[in-house]
Amino acid sequence: MSASLVIAVASAKELVRGNGGEPQSLDPQLMSGPQEGWIAYDLFEGLVTYGPRGELIPGQAESWHSSKDGKTWTFKIRPGLKWSDGAALTAKDFEYTYRRFADPETAASFAWFLEALEVQNAHEVIKGHKKVEQLGVKAVHEDTLEFYLDAPVSYFAELMAFYGFLPVPKHVIEAKGAKWSLPENAVSNGAFQLTEWKVNERIRAVRNPLYRDNKSTRLDSVAYITGGDELSRFRSGEIHITNSIKSEHENWVRSHQPAALKTEPWMSVALIFLNMKDKNLQHQGNRQALALAIDRDVLAKSQATGAGAAAWQIVPPNFEHYKPSLPDNFQKTINERAGIGRSYLKGMQEIEIAYCNSCGKDKMLAIAAGQEWQKRLGIKVVLKGYERKHYFQTLNNKDYQIAIVQWIGPYKDPASLLSIFHSQAVSNRSHYNSQEYDQLLTVGRSMPGKSAERMAVYSKAEELIMKDVPAIPLIHHQNVRLVSPEVQGYTGENMMGRVYSRHLSLD
């Protein structure tokens, strides 16, 4: 980009963001990763959303409450809401969206969230055993939406901010079909509306004058860079905010542009899924050996694996009272742990690690874990990389032995990470099946708030994961990105890493 063009962008108040890669879809119910989510939160707004400091605030709903037994949630939709094409937006649109989310014909990656939230008939609808009209959600009035649950879920409202629950326009989908979310057809309800999509280059969205809080939006447009090196583009002035920064570049940034470097806590864990259907991994001793023989502290300090802290548990240590006890063996030195691990091995001489070639630090983590196991356990490790789309198909089909995954919690609660190991969760890549674990999650999600008693229940669930080892946590990553001093309003206080462009300006 030339200097003159950079000046033109700035004068037009266009924020330019690194997106970290090419999105697979801009249809909220078909999204499967953060490359889609960063854009979705600008184009659409759900019933609830987040404020600039990561606090849950009203979105398209002006208020909400649950019944005394916690099994009915009522959302009051704001009056006068519009889609970006001027069509009225009512509770019926949300009803349609969530039925579409559950519809097996949609094949939504995160439809199982409806099951995790205990929405009535969600499992049967998703499996195609009941009609979508039987899902436990209903527009009882044009400004009132109700959810009916089989059991209380204390964090229900917070999950409504996740991109899978963003509303979609029925009238456009019925007219345009699968092409409804392309720029020439796209209609949305957020602060910005899609106008351009150049694959592997950029996506652009302009201010939506019909957004319910348009008066607070201070940008004219947002561009999302989906290809190329973000650091070099930031240095040249083309990008205002990078999606992330490679760890090997951090020293340069600290020396040359320290004020631009932002390092923030994240509801994230990089972990290794162990497929418990595999004949070698069915043996608990083999799984424990793999967990014991990784030096997480060295891994966390390695620039190749990104900024973060060693993870001995799935949930980042960001919650008061959440303190699962480590097994005694994990408190020994790495050499002692490796020796114990070797004594546990039974018949496992070779393993295969699957990873995504273009998903953050996954490849480097796979290499590092493989080197640890070969060195400390004496087993042969085969690495198998996939392109992103094929990789997630492989995970969904559970066609792997060991897989590297980074999981970002969709809401601020230990359950957002622990629930992926529920026996019925689609995200349960390990085939982990523990009635005791499932029961602890059921008890915990019905308890209110972040009480010590509730955190104790979840801590016990985490201890089961440590014992049974369906997965091995490696790193609790931090969000590391570059933010230009031109950008105003950036706080970096959203633990899910979400940065809403409507909170920012270039004043």
DSSP string, 247-266: GGGHHHHHHH-GGGEEEE--
Query: How far apart, in whole angstroms, are the C-alpha atoms of residue 75 and residue 337?
Result: 51
Q: How many domains does the chain have?
A: 3
Query: How far apart, in whole angstroms, are the C-alpha atoms of residue 83 and residue 345?
Result: 59
Task: Give 11's pLDDT tier (boundaries 50, 70, 90).
Answer: very low
Task: Give 5's pLDDT tier (boundaries 50, 70, 90).
Answer: very low
In-domain check, residue 40: no
Shared domain check, 349 and 366: yes
Shared domain check, 62 and 8: no
Give the CATH number, domain containing residue 388.
Answer: 3.10.105.10
Shared domain check, 65 and 54: yes
The three-state secondary structure class of 259 is helix
404 beta partners? 272
Per-residue pLDDT reduced to its tens digit, 116-133: 899 999 999 999 999 999
Task: Give 318's pLDDT tier (boundaries 50, 70, 90).
Answer: confident
Query: How far apart, in whole angstroms, are the C-alpha atoms of residue 109 and residue 106?
Result: 9
Shared domain check, 9 and 74: no
Token pair in block for residue 160: 């409504």
Shared domain check, 272 and 259: no
Q: What are the residues whose beta carbons fall under 8 Å from the beta carbon of 315, sequence distance 6 or more?
A: 269, 322, 414, 417, 418, 458, 462
Cβ atoms of 355 and 404 within 8 Å: the answer is: yes
Task: Give 303's pLDDT tier (boundaries 50, 70, 90).
Answer: low
Shared domain check, 387 and 281: yes
Shared domain check, 464 and 340: yes
Q: Which of 125, 145, 167 is the last residue of a domain?
A: 167
Shared domain check, 14 and 152: no
In-domain check, residue 33: no
Shared domain check, 123 and 50: yes
The three-state secondary structure class of 107 is coil
Burial group, residue 344, by CB count within 10 angstroms (0-12, 13-18, 19+): buried
* DSSP state, residue 483: B
pLDDT greater than 50 at residue 2 = no
Q: Which residue in 472, 498, 499, 479 sits closest to 487, CA to CA?
A: 499
Per-residue pLDDT reduced to its tens digit, 393-414: 888 888 899 999 988 888 889 9
In-domain check, residue 32: no
Q: What is the mean pLDDT of the chain?
A: 92
pLDDT greater than 90 at residue 482 = yes
Shared domain check, 438 and 323: yes
Burial group, residue 190, by CB count within 10 angstroms (0-12, 13-18, 19+): buried
pLDDT greater than 90 at residue 503 = yes
Shared domain check, 384 and 278: yes
Token pair in block for residue 281: 């991994």
Choice among 37-51, 200-214, 291-305, 360-374 with the minimum mean pLDDT:
291-305
In-domain check, residue 34: no
Token pair in block for residue 182: 């392309």
Q: Which of 120, 138, 167 is the last residue of a domain?
A: 167
In-domain check, residue 211: yes
Cβ atoms of 169 and 83 within 8 Å: the answer is: yes
In-domain check, residue 37: no
Which residue range(s) make up the domain with 272? 268-477
Task: Give 62's pLDDT tier (boundaries 50, 70, 90).
Answer: very high
The three-state secondary structure class of 445 is helix
More confident residue, 495 or 344: 344
End-to-end CA distance of the chain: 22
The pLDDT of residue 367 is 93
Give the CATH number, domain containing residue 50.
Answer: 3.90.76.10
